[in-house]
């Protein structure tokens, strides 16, 4: 059953939580950059990201519990989409609801995602929300 999901803007206090999610071995395997990231480097990046007017970082919440993150990086009329869901909440429908809500909030003419070719769950997620493959390589590039 799909959990009830709301989105809120990320704050600096979310930095370490997102770092933990991002450095989980399965997440690193699915990421385009699979390197482990040092906390200090991540927090420096995160602080700058929060201040970037072309970047939106949203925290997906199930009740009072943070369950994931959606990031949209605006470049002209294209917003590049990144999503990360805490392992405990994967397979519950959270990703689809959170991503749909995030796309509804963002004003972009087109959305783009880059997904590793072996990441079947992410490919299915983006396709379910109307994304189409525009480059079939590794990574697979999808747009909507």
The model's pTM = 0.92
Is residue 133 situated within a structural domain? no
DSSP state of 93: T
Domain region containing 69:
5-109
Dihedral sign of CA atoms 108, 122, 28, 9 in order: positive
Residue 116: inside a domain: no
**Nearest-10 Cα torsion for 75, 81, 82, 84:** 150
Residue 87 lies in a domain: yes
Q: Residue 24: inside a domain, yes or no?
A: yes
The structure tokens listed for 103 are 């796309």
Q: How many domains does the chain have?
A: 1
Q: Which CATH number belongs to the domain containing residue 89 in this structure? A: 3.40.630.30
What pLDDT is recorded for position 3? Answer: 66
User: What are the pLDDT tens digits along the chain (144 aa)?
Assistant: 466 999 999 999 999 999 999 998 888 777 878 788 999 999 999 999 999 999 999 999 999 999 999 999 999 999 999 999 999 999 999 999 999 999 998 779 999 999 999 999 999 999 999 999 999 999 999 999
């Amino acid at each position: 059953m799909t959990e009830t999901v709301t989105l809120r803007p990320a704050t600096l206090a979310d930095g370490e939580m997102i770092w933990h999610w991002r450095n989980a071995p399965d997440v690193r395997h699915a990421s385009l950059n699979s390197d482990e990231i040092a906390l200090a480097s991540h927090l420096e990046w995160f602080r700058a990201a929060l201040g970037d007017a072309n970047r939106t970082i949203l925290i997906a919440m199930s009740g009072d519990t943070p369950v994931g993150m959606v990031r949209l990086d605006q470049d002209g009329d294209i917003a590049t989409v990144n999503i990360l869901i805490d392992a405990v909440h994967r397979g519950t429908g959270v990703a689809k609801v959170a991503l749909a809500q995030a796309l509804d909030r963002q004003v972009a003419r087109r959305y783009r995602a880059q997904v590793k070719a072996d990441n079947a769950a992410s490919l299915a997620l983006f396709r379910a929300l109307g994304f189409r493959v525009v480059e079939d390589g590794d990574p697979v590039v999808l747009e909507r």
